Structure 1
């Protein structure tokens, strides 16, 4: 019986290389298919804008692909785990390794090592690529796939509450007193929430206090009449600081930037449950790749001629997909305050770590 956690160097490199190649193949397949399906539903909106062409389609692909990679990388690791272990089992390589005195954990050790490397690469990819692509794509979608203002920090589909009144904008650009809102809609409501007036304007700028609308179209609900207002200041209670806090997008911010946003929320006494859950999940999400070899280990063992290999593969797939369902549900509960943020992000990971370890020990060790 070997006492080292890893098998020989040759066998470790062989299994790790086999596993990584299958991960890359499954990820490429999933991203290719999903990107094609995505384009079928989005290309019409992109091409409907005058001046857009093939270059804009490729731009959309370049922004959407990083999101698909980040989202479906753990699924690719799960599928690669099942495929790799099934092939090793059918070729009796698992039997040979166990006959040499290797434990089930030693057989899986190279896969854990490769999955850990994938997790680190996934975290770095999310920080450097995915967050920026997400911010750019959301700003472009907010502009209806038309020209996006080139100011730094452009954000789309922003929504702010000033008491009972509501101010929304398709795009927000700039920072501080140079901040500007495009395609603005302001809803004036009574204390009971009844809509009394609606203003629409192509642009709004900070008026210290409030936001000045130029060339606004005013709709009076009671009179059912529309007229034009050249200049009007609305949302006097909306300060620059409040708008900057309300426009935080956890998906478009990196791990350290989001931590600073959470601290800013805490200083003004704002609720941070959703942001904290997303912040913890920026660590737990990439680490989920390390769980997949453990959850898919059921497919590695058992005699290939027993007729139960297909059933074992189904069990491995069921365990893996159950993790993703529970993880998404827990994250949603954490965002709504049902679970503490730390528990929402990490409970599924440790729960399925224990489940996978229990199944492996009871059936193979």
Structure 2
């Protein structure tokens, strides 16, 4: 009844599995990074001042995204190769003949996949969100040599009100007020010429009116700026638009996204799309734990029956079917078609039941 009947066997299986996962991950990321760099290098080098250093900077920002995106695929492929190898060399037969159940054979792989999933979550929270925010900021300025990159925990707000452009560092909902720190207002005439630039330490919406604090008003003629402590501001932009663009789940951590959902919910704004992304920040890395179970069909069965290749194909189909279902449900959750929790966890729970039912029916 023990999960790991042999510590030696557990170390042997876990090491074999981890090495293969890392090998597939390195191979996939290197190939995909090369293809991605080839498609973007023309845009980067077309900007004056960019050279090989800019290409390396792009690779350093893009590679964490590729690692996070294809780590579950690498776990699936690593599991299939590990189990198929054990089956082909009759090591699974030896383990089963020694009284080890199918679940006990898989448990070292599941434990190693759990550690990989935990590392995946930490990697997303500490590295991927920062690199994604910096890459998006760099892309917004057309890969300029010295771009103003957004802080990793914030999402800049850019909103158009007719010919007027509104910019703020972020949007914060607090105690029934909407606050836009580092507020900038670019008013334009016909022909896209600036007529006035207004900056403020913050813009605050409370009681149905906007107020600017610590205001500076600049004229394109070069006249000295006009300073005011406070100034009312009128705009046709609804507050929902500022909040909608203020949070990008791909560029903020789990805790920051959780706070944003709480702030929006407090103000009575819809949060279904953000909730689905919030739950998926956990269910996404959890997919690595499912891969050994979905690929287990390739581990069992007699090799001389000639059906090993068919079993590998079935395991691969189950794994890729999971990724398709997971992306489909997440999209439905972001559109508000299904509840957020169901959008994030329906595919993992469904394929957990499928994997267990296949394993019990064939081996247990």
> Partner of 2:176 in structure 1?
none
CA displacement at 1:152 relative to structure 2: 4.5
Task: Determine if the alignment matches structure 1 residue 293 to structure 2 residue 297.
Answer: no
SS of 2:318's equivalent in the other structure is helix
CA displacement at 1:319 relative to structure 2: 0.2
Checking the alignment, whether the CA contact within 8 Å between 1:154 and 1:173 is kept in structure 2 is no
For 1:74-108, what per-residue CA distance to the aligned partner results, in whole angstroms no more than 9, with x for missing partners? 00000000000011111111111011011110100
Checking the alignment, whether the CA contact within 8 Å between 1:299 and 1:312 is kept in structure 2 is yes
Matches of 2:90 and 2:163, distance apart in 1? 66
- Summarize the alignment of residues 1-365 of structure 1 with structure 2, pairs less than 5 Å apart: 3-146=1-144, 147-149=146-148, 152=151, 159-160=158-159, 165=162, 173=169, 176-180=180-184, 199=192, 205-206=198-199, 236-238=235-237, 243=242, 246-365=245-364
Checking the alignment, whether the CA contact within 8 Å between 1:153 and 1:174 is kept in structure 2 is no
Checking the alignment, whether the CA contact within 8 Å between 1:27 and 1:69 is kept in structure 2 is yes
CA displacement at 1:303 relative to structure 2: 1.3
Checking the alignment, whether the CA contact within 8 Å between 1:177 and 1:240 is kept in structure 2 is no
Checking the alignment, whether the CA contact within 8 Å between 2:330 and 2:343 is kept in structure 1 is yes
Matches of 2:259 and 2:133, distance apart in 1? 17
Matches of 1:103 and 1:269, distance apart in 2? 52
Matches of 1:143 and 1:321, distance apart in 2? 36
Q: 1:90 to 1:150 in 2, by over 3 A?
A: closer
Q: 1:294 to 1:174 in 2, by over 3 A?
A: closer
Checking the alignment, whether the CA contact within 8 Å between 2:187 and 2:196 is kept in structure 1 is no
Backbone CA RMSD of aligned residues? 3.2
Unaligned 5+ segments in structure 2 are 172-179, 204-209, 222-231
SS of 1:179's equivalent in the other structure is strand
TM-score by length of 2: 0.83
Matches of 1:89 and 1:295, distance apart in 2? 16
SS of 1:51's equivalent in the other structure is coil
Matches of 2:220 and 2:297, distance apart in 1? 66
Matches of 2:34 and 2:43, distance apart in 1? 15
With 152-161 and 6-15 compared, the bigger mean Cα shift is at 152-161
With 142-151 and 349-358 compared, the bigger mean Cα shift is at 142-151
Q: 1:258 to 1:65 in 2, by over 3 A?
A: same
Matches of 2:149 and 2:263, distance apart in 1? 26
With 297-306 and 325-334 compared, the bigger mean Cα shift is at 297-306
SS of 2:147's equivalent in the other structure is coil
Checking the alignment, whether the CA contact within 8 Å between 2:157 and 2:170 is kept in structure 1 is no
Q: 1:199 to 1:340 in 2, by over 3 A?
A: farther
Q: 1:136 to 1:10 in 2, by over 3 A?
A: same
TM-score by length of 1: 0.82
> Partner of 1:222 in structure 2?
none
SS of 2:159's equivalent in the other structure is strand
Matches of 1:337 and 1:144, distance apart in 2? 33
| Aligned length, in residue pairs | 334
Matches of 2:299 and 2:36, distance apart in 1? 34
Q: 1:134 to 1:345 in 2, by over 3 A?
A: same
SS of 2:148's equivalent in the other structure is coil
Matches of 1:313 and 1:274, distance apart in 2? 36
